């Protein structure tokens, strides 16, 4: 029970990776608060946390006012936040020539600005206490380039850059900031990518999944639980000297 007495907030908790992270942190002893857009999914996950339930708030991480109100409500209900996992994210693909300003803005808003807004709302109390853990869920797309997802790649590179900048800024105040960069992972987002590939190329579902799996070094898809294990390590007491890192979880 490495995290007994800690309060963790996981954004994007209604998705596959976010749910796995929430369950893993709760199993390690943390009280876990959940954030996401789908209230029904949050409530279902909250029920699985047992006595480790914190608060549950459905809000849009790109809405500055909503973020401020939600964080205040979570603090009031469950106490100061010791661990923040910025997991909220989304992906849409298009050739660059068809990447219009709306798609570009949406990808940056959800995948980068959302983490900035939530971190800004939470980090102050961590710095005041001189203790805290922040983990940003980026992607291997934050480390290398991929075709047809230029806006997503730009946003995730930005998130890795934000991670490194804050790690340096917060290092002397006891707050670590790291990024976890999953490769292709078994999530609803991956299922949407598979459907997109089959629709546009005529490949079968199994062929599309094999194509994505081949993009990971081990030739297999990563599980959400494997991503959650990396997060658990980074927020544990044993990782107190690890900050500013972008840990690839891609097999």
Catalytically active residues, by annotation: 152
How far apart, in whole angstroms, are the C-alpha atoms of residue 109 and residue 37?
14
Residue at token pair 């971190």: 119
How far apart, in whole angstroms, are the C-alpha atoms of residue 40 and residue 173?
37
How far apart, in whole angstroms, are the C-alpha atoms of residue 201 and residue 251?
26
How far apart, in whole angstroms, are the C-alpha atoms of residue 126 and residue 109?
24
Instruction: Residue 63: name the closest of 44, 35, 39, 93 by CA.
Output: 35
Question: What HEC string does 113-162 produce?
Answer: HHHHHHHHHHHHHHHHHCCEEEEEECCHHHCCCCCCCHHHHHHHHHHHHH
Instruction: Residue 140: name the closest of 210, 207, 190, 201 by CA.
Output: 190
């Amino acid at each position: 029970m490495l995290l007994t007495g800690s309060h963790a907030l996981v954004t994007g908790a209604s998705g596959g990776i976010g749910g796995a992270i929430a369950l893993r942190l709760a199993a390690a002893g943390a009280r876990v608060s959940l954030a996401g857009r789908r209230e029904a999914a949050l409530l279902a996950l909250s029920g699985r946390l047992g006595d480790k339930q914190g608060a549950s708030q459905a809000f849009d991480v790109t809405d500055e006012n909503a973020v401020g109100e939600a964080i205040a409500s979570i603090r009031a209900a469950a106490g100061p936040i010791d661990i923040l996992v910025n997991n909220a994210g989304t992906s849409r693909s298009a050739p660059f020539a068809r990447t219009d300003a709306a798609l570009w803005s949406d990808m940056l808003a959800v995948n980068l600005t959302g983490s900035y807004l939530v971190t800004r709302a939470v980090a102050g109390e961590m710095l005041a206490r001189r203790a805290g853990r922040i983990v940003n869920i980026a992607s291997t797309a934050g480390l290398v380039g991929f075709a047809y997802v230029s806006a997503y790649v730009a946003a995730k590179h930005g998130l890795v850059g934000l991670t490194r900048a804050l790690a340096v800024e917060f290092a002397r105040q006891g707050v670590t900031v790291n990024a976890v960069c999953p490769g292709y992972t078994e999530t609803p987002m991956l299922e949407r990518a598979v459907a997109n590939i089959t629709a546009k190329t005529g490949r079968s579902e199994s062929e599309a999944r094999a194509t994505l799996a081949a993009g990971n070094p081990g030739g297999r898809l990563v599980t959400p639980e494997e991503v959650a294990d990396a997060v658990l390590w980074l927020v544990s007491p044993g990782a107190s000297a690890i900050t500013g890192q972008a840990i690839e979880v891609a097999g």
